[in-house]
Amino acid sequence: MEEEFALQEQEQNFDFKGFVFKVFSYWYIFAISIAVGLGIAYYINVRKLPVYQLSSLISIKDDQNPFFTSNTSLTFNWGGTSDKVSTAVTTLKTRSHNEQVVEELNYYVNYLQEGKYQLIDAYGSVPFQFEVDTSAFQVLYTPLKVVFKDEKHFELSYNLEEAVQASAMRYSDKKLGQVGLPAGAFKKQYQLKQPIELPFLKGRLLPNDMPLIIGKPYYIELHNFNQVVKNYQNIQIRPEEKGSSVLSLALRGNNKAKIVDYLNTTAAVLSRNMLDRKNLFATKTIRFIDSSLQKRAEELRGVEDELNDFRKNNSIIDITGEAQQLRDRLTVLDEQEQELSRKLNYFNTLKDYLQSRTDYSNVPAPSVSGIEEPSISSGVGRIVQLSEQRSAYEYGAKANNPKFKDIDRQINATKEVLLENIASSTGLLQDEINSVKRTINQLEAKVRQLPQDEQDLLNIQRRYTISEQTYNLFLNKRNEAGLVKAANVSDVQVIDEAKDVGGGKIGPNTQLNYVMAILLGSAIPLVFVFILVFLDNKVNSVKDVEKLSPISILGMVGKSRLSSNLVVYHKSKSAIAESFRGLRTSLQFIYRQRQLKGCKTVLVTSSISGEGKTFISMNLASVFAISGKKTLLMGLDLRKPKIFDDFEINNDKGVVNYLINQDGIDDIIQQTRYDNLDVITSGAVPPNPSELLMKEEMEDLIRQLEKRYDYIILDTPPIGLVSDALNLTKFSDANLYIVRQNYTRKGMLNVINEKYKSGEVKNISFVLNYFQQKAKYGYGYGYGYGYGYSYGNYGNGYHEPEIKRSWYSRLFKNKK
């Protein structure tokens, strides 16, 4: 029981060392797999286009307008430099920003030329530019060939095996569609600047400053605008140092000229947009003032015409001194009322925006209406700034981004403060307006005491003065806003623009491809070997036998390369012959331990046919005979007789003939051409081999033969298939169970283990046949016990050198 438990414990351990040897044995598979992987890597590498990375440096400054005062509060500090840097980084990655850059550069039009293995990007080196008709559908992802016939004429062509419905896009509204491309070869000649009017392409080719090569093929390929924009949103943006306002912009691509133009254009577009955002109040205010100026100018002209008509139609030219005093006082009061009304109207307009709208970008600056309260000016600037930030984040952040909630919270807080300030200021303004109106009413009562002509002239002059003052006020504000806008500069400054100064190549990483080829080339065979080992249920090494059975190993016999089975006679100095001598020595040691005298018998069996028991029997008999012992080899495998061919004898008479009392013992013994070695073949195949071997005649035969020979070798049927060998063990002094390396299945040893444990079979030992001491089969003990000098400097003294076959003959030779 202890042995059984020990055996089960051994079976649970993975033979890592054996697995490693197994892996090494398939070195040629690894070599082929790695070679194929390297070949594929080379094929990919030579066809990969070079990858470049170029960069530029920009600075996000905080330039304040030198004309910024409380009276010209048309620009605002948008949260400081740090906030501007964050906004710039987000903007550069937004879809809307990159759409502007791609649209400006027309990067949805690809210019290609023929490379060594494929078409390559020819941006910056083609002698023309394709002007796309954005109102028509253009075919996508179809290279159209352009070949110049002379300096002004070119041929447009393509070649399709079959007609297709290709994807198309109308770039004016970015709408996708389909266009038909007829099958066959299409060719048509055009002139530069001549419109191209085709169902799948509309536009024209314009010349540029690049040198023109007659006959050289170029290609035009239009891409999906949205996909191009998405690709360029991967631009790399990082601050030069933590918290720095200097940003590094980097972009990768296959064409350096294309990268340079994109980096410089994206900085220019950012600068332009940030300046527009900085000028937002000034721009909105100028637009508001322009519309107001137009109304005031019309009003002023109307009053002026009325005044001229009045003077023309009446004899009165001017008013008296008393009326003049009244007019001057009323003019001052009218101006105060107008100013207060403008402020009140602005507050009402601002209140309406805050309460009913979410877009605050159209609110004019408070200074336009003469409001100088810092709380109002800073509040309006803050809420416009936050609104702009939120609009910028909409293109670069997800809807559930925490930034949106934070901005909305700040907008609501600022709005509440503004509404409180508006309510307070509105009440004060209304009181002031009422007070001014009361004074005006008192003065107007005195005016009504004047002659009618003077009253009319005074009223007209009064209205004229009010219109003129209002017009001049808006005109001054217009000039002030224009001055502020003109003095503004962008907060984006290009420190180091992108430029191709050579270098910049970062790929393809061909070394990585080769490393991956080696890794994958090694991993695939490794998985293959692991599966083989995992699924392998055959005996491959000595360790396997030791794990699977408590039966000891008597010896090992190597792989024979001879066509004949009589290795001991034909290659007496070979390693295999030595292994049989070692096996003979081990058997003699067993016999001495058991103190056997006289004839000794050896039974040779195995699990199934093909494991080499007959080979072992023949050579074991041969090695005993060579030692001068009279030896007999008996073929008791009555179902499959084999031993006669190699000894050049016949199988006409044998054991079967004796057992059926057809021939005597002398009739069935056949002498061989080798001294001291006789053979008894099995004879004709009987219908009842098991019953014949159990007859008393079999026991009589063995007893008679023991008197004549020193050693009897019994070549029996496989014990795993039939019971014949089990019945013959009673005649044997030693039993050899043949296990063939990489052939005998591990489960087959269970049969002999059970019989050994139950005591049905005794004095049994394993002989490993066809054993190769190579990594493929793990590790062992050499070719038997006591003949381990088969190679090296001892080869010429003890063993006959074996002829080694070429590697390809060994690789493709079928196993025996």
pLDDT of residue 13: 55
Stated as kind and residue range, the H or E segment containing 494 is strand 492-496
The DSSP letter of residue 745 is B
What domain range is 172 assigned to? 109-223
pTM over 0.75: no
For residue 268, name the pLDDT band (cuts at 50, 70, 90).
very high
pLDDT of residue 79: 43
Out of 197, 223, 249, a domain closes at 223
DSSP assignment of 39-100: HHHHHHHHHSPPEEEEEEEEEE--PPPTT--GGG------SHHHHHHHHHHHHHTSHHHHHH
For residue 368, name the pLDDT band (cuts at 50, 70, 90).
low
* Burial label, 214 (beta-carbon count in 10 A; 0-12, 13-18, 19+): exposed
pLDDT of residue 58: 93
For residue 342, name the pLDDT band (cuts at 50, 70, 90).
confident
Is there a single domain that holds both residue 657 and residue 759? yes
Percent of the chain predicted with pLDDT > 70: 85
DSSP assignment of 697-714: HHHHHHHHHHHH-SEEEE
Query: Is residue 608 in a domain?
Result: yes
Domain count of the fold of the chain: 4
Query: Is residue 471 in a domain?
Result: yes
Ramachandran area for residue 504 (φ above 0: left; ψ -120 to 50: alpha; else beta): left
Integer CA distances (angstroms), 594 to 297, 590, 597, 708, in order: 138, 6, 9, 21
Mind listing the pLDDT tens digit for each residue in 519-551?
A: 999 998 888 888 877 788 888 888 889 989 999
pLDDT of residue 369: 67
Asked whether 84 and 522 are in contact (CB, 8 A), the reply is no
Asked whether 577 and 567 are in contact (CB, 8 A), the reply is yes
pLDDT of residue 792: 34
Query: Is residue 750 in a domain?
Result: yes
Is there a single domain that holds both residue 209 and residue 299? no
- How many Cβ atoms are within 10 Å of 35's Cβ, its own excluded? 12
Out of 535, 570, 594, a domain closes at 535
pLDDT above 70 (res 6): no
Which letter, b or e, does each residue of 39-54 get, where b requires 16 or more Cβ atoms within 10 Å of its Cβ? eebeeebeebbeebbb
Mean local confidence (pLDDT), 799-812: 52
Spatial CB neighbours of 462, under 8 Å, sequence gap ≥ 6: 327, 330, 331, 334
Type of residue at 701: L
Is there a single domain that holds both residue 36 and residue 136? no
Is there a single domain that holds both residue 513 and residue 568? no
> Among 412, 512, 78, which residue's Cα sits nearest to residue 277?
78
Query: Is residue 248 in a domain?
Result: no
Query: Is residue 503 in a domain?
Result: no
Instruction: Give the least confident one: 7-21, 80-94, 143-157.
Output: 7-21
pLDDT of residue 72: 43
Location of structure tokens 């710039």: 88
Mind listing the pLDDT tens digit for each residue in 593-611?
A: 988 989 999 999 998 888 9
Spatial CB neighbours of 348, under 8 Å, sequence gap ≥ 6: 426
Higher-confidence residue: 375 or 568? 568
pLDDT above 60 (res 808): no
Rounded to the nearest integer, the mean pLDDT of the chain is: 82
Is there a single domain that holds both residue 707 and residue 611? yes
Mean local confidence (pLDDT), 294-302: 80
pLDDT of residue 78: 41
For residue 795, name the pLDDT band (cuts at 50, 70, 90).
very low
Exposure of 370 in the CB half-sphere (CA atoms within 13 A): 16
Query: Is residue 808 in a domain?
Result: no
Mind listing the pLDDT tens digit for each residue in 686-704?
A: 888 888 888 899 999 999 9
pLDDT of residue 64: 53
> Among 299, 292, 306, 293, which residue's Cα sits nearest to residue 461?
306
Query: Is residue 166 in a domain?
Result: yes
> Among 678, 674, 683, 675, which residue's Cα sits nearest to residue 666?
678
E-assigned strand segments in 516-580: 553-558
Mean local confidence (pLDDT), 556-560: 86
Higher-confidence residue: 371 or 609? 609
Location of structure tokens 């009739």: 667
pLDDT above 60 (res 806): no
Asked whether 718 and 725 are in contact (CB, 8 A), the reply is yes
pLDDT above 60 (res 263): yes
Is there a single domain that holds both residue 182 and residue 301? no
pLDDT above 80 (res 1): no
Is there a single domain that holds both residue 34 and residue 140? no
Round the CA-based radius of gyration of the chain to a whole number and report it: 54
pLDDT above 80 (res 10): no
Is there a single domain that holds both residue 327 and residue 427? yes
Mind listing the pLDDT tens digit for each residue in 428-452?
A: 888 888 888 888 888 778 777 777 7
Higher-confidence residue: 797 or 14? 14
Mean local confidence (pLDDT), 248-271: 94
CA separation for the pair 299, 301 (Å, rounded): 5
Higher-confidence residue: 323 or 420? 420
DSSP assignment of 387-454: HHHHHHHTTTS-TT-HHHHHHHHHHHHHHHHHHHHHHHHHHHHHHHHHHHHHHHHHHHHHHTTS-HHH
Type of residue at 655: V
For residue 810, name the pLDDT band (cuts at 50, 70, 90).
low
> Among 362, 398, 490, which residue's Cα sits nearest to residue 90?
398
Query: Is residue 236 in a domain?
Result: no
Is there a single domain that holds both residue 598 and residue 736? yes
CA separation for the pair 685, 588 (Å, rounded): 34
- How many Cβ atoms are within 10 Å of 11's Cβ, its own excluded? 11
For residue 709, name the pLDDT band (cuts at 50, 70, 90).
very high
CA separation for the pair 446, 135 (Å, rounded): 70
Type of residue at 700: D
Alpha helices in 357-395 (DSSP H): 374-393
Ramachandran area for residue 193 (φ above 0: left; ψ -120 to 50: alpha; else beta): left
Is there a single domain that holds both residue 435 and residue 371? yes
Higher-confidence residue: 102 or 399? 102
Spatial CB neighbours of 382, under 8 Å, sequence gap ≥ 6: 76, 410, 414
Is there a single domain that holds both residue 783 and residue 716? yes
Which letter, b or e, does each residue of 80-95 get, where b requires 16 or more Cβ atoms within 10 Å of its Cβ? ebeebbbbbbbbbbbe
Instruction: Give the least confident one: 98-107, 384-393, 644-653.
Output: 384-393
Type of residue at 572: S
Mean local confidence (pLDDT), 96-103: 94
At residue 157, the 3 state secondary structure works out as strand
Q: Identify the CATH number of the domain in which residue 699 sits.
A: 3.40.50.300
Is there a single domain that holds both residue 24 and residue 125? no
